[in-house]
């Protein structure tokens, strides 16, 4: 994870300077996908294990947002598409995590049901073994024990 983190930071530095090796990306199009491509890692790795780099990515975009700068509608659309892409990736990641948790919850419910049935069976066996039994004495009399 540490090596991947170093790769991501180096790739982010290259992209911010504008001399990316694998991607020719402007700051306005600086996305998780572009960063992952530049670093040679999967986007899921960034979302799952390197959340800190996402903050750095957002900060890298910030200096380009000057309040008095007039942005064209094309710049706004590009930026909004980037945000949408990031959010869609987050949705996919959350859906994957949700599916995994759902599988675990269903399996846990099945195990709990099996344990309850086994517990009921054992309780029944214990109750059966604790019932008094009739014993016959050698002379044929019946005695309770």
Q: What is the pLDDT of residues 4-52, one digit of tens each?
A: 888 888 888 888 877 766 555 555 567 888 888 888 888 888 888 888 8
CA–CA gap between residue 43 and residue 90 (Å, rounded): 10
pTM (predicted TM-score): 0.41
CA–CA gap between residue 4 and residue 135 (Å, rounded): 76
- Please, which contacts does 74-79 make with residues 24 or more away whose CB atoms are closer than 8 Å? 75/28, 78/28, 78/29, 79/28
- Predicted pLDDT of residue 95: 94
Please give the residue that has the higher pLDDT: either 12 or 111: 111
In the chain, % of residues over pLDDT 90: 34
Average pLDDT, the chain: 82
């Amino acid at each position: 994870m540490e090596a991947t983190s170093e790769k991501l930071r180096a790739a982010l530095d290259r992209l911010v300077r504008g001399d990316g090796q694998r991607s020719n990306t402007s700051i306005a199009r600086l996305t998780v996908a572009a960063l992952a491509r530049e670093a040679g890692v999967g986007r899921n790795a960034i979302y799952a294990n390197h959340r800190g780099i996402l903050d750095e990515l957002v900060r890298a975009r910030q200096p380009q947002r000057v309040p008095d700068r007039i942005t064209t509608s094309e710049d706004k659309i590009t930026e909004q598409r980037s945000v949408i892409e990031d959010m869609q990736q987050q949705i996919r990641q959350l859906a994957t995590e949700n599916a995994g948790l759902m599988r675990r919850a269903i399996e846990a419910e099945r195990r709990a049901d099996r344990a309850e049935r086994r517990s009921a069976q054992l309780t029944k066996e214990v109750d059966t073994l604790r019932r008094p039994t009739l014993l016959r004495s050698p002379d044929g009399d019946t005695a309770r024990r």
